Amino acid sequence: MDTAPAGWSAPEWESVTPRRRWPTRFAGLLLAAVSVVLGFRVGDSDGITPVPQLLAFLPWLLAPAGLGLAISTLALWRTGMVWGMAVVFGLIWYMDPYGKISEPTGAPVAELRVMTSNVQFGRATDALIAAVGREKPAIVFVEECEYGCSRALEDAFGGSDGTFPYREAVEGAGSDGSVILSRFPLKGADGLPGTTMGMPGAVADVQGHDVRLQLAHPMPPLPGQVGVWRRELGELRDYAAAGDEPTILAGDFNASQDHAAFRRILDTGLRDSSRLDGDTRDPSWPVDTAPPLGVQIDHVLVSEEFSVNKAGFLDLTGSDHRALVVDLTLHQRG
């Protein structure tokens, strides 16, 4: 006997025919998963595992969101179609670059080329040495430069008559070691106390102008390490906000512009060189899938005294990261 009152209708989900029920449920699961990650992006938060890991690949979530929308459309599931369109347009909205893009107003006083490279436990040391010989940067930030890498760089470029007579380093094994090489005179600075990975700092004398240099290599947001990752990015943010001299903060940040902790660094006034050159979404990691699929986590951030003339990524044999080379102009303060 039909006991439903007059005018009653089943909920839309239950009204879907059995033939279409499983596709719509699958579409709902896809859209729900993407919506959770997108919700944290809207809320300006990195959340907890697995949200920080998925936020790094936010643009690529268009694939499951689009699939969910397509299935909903084929199944004539109206709620799914509206939901899917909202999620897709939300993802597209947040692909817009973040941060300031204002140009310096003062007169130019110096030009310099900067390179940053994660050499993956030193495996790409030979490739880096060859790239430095071709690109001829003035300052090089090298992450995961273990003892053998450090010695090789000193042999290739060190000494008072070498290409890079000045250096600051945190010596270590595996991913612990990091090095800053410079053609300009350096004064030592405290650097930042990374949990396991070295982050040396220095002050460079660039044609009579002090420029703060800080290598960035915080912990990656691994499950169980998200708190450490967030804290070390916070320390980089504090460093960026503390000084009023021209500043270059470069390295493997293990974070993209879709991470709230990285955006807080940009909120201090530093600008992302790749963004200024129009390459905000050019992936730098992992090399096995970049550039078709990857994320930009290697950055050269500069203060308002710098303009960016060119920025580009290079593949280095042996590393899972692409190296970043940036041509900068230092300006007087306007």
| The predicted structure's pLDDT at residue 8 | 41
pTM for the complete prediction?
0.90
> Is the domain of 254 the same as that of 201?
yes
101, part of any domain:
no
Question: Last residue of some domain: 42, 64, 93?
Answer: 93
Strands 139-143 and 108-118: parallel
State the pLDDT at residue 14.
Answer: 47
- Same domain (yes/no): 208, 144: yes
Number of domains in the chain: 2
Q: Mark the ranges of the chain whose per-residue pLDDT is less than 50.
A: 1-11, 13-14
Looking at the fold, whether 206 and 314 belong to one and the same domain comes out as: yes
The verdict on residue 88 lying in a domain is yes
Whether residue 100 lies inside any domain: the answer is no
CB 17 within 8 A of CB 25: no
Structure tokens at 55: 């936020």
Task: Identify whether residues 142 and 238 lie together within a single domain.
Answer: yes
* Predicted pLDDT at 19: 60
200-254 pLDDT, tens digit per residue, is 999 999 999 999 999 999 999 999 999 999 999 999 999 999 988 999 999 999 9
**At a CB cut-off of 8 Å and minimum separation 6, what does 198 contact?**
169, 170, 171, 172, 176, 177, 178, 191, 215, 217
pLDDT of amino acid 1: 45
Q: What's residue 257's pLDDT?
A: 94
Question: So what's the pLDDT on residue 18?
Answer: 62
Give yes or no: residues 154 and 72 share one domain: no
Domain boundaries, position 315:
108-331
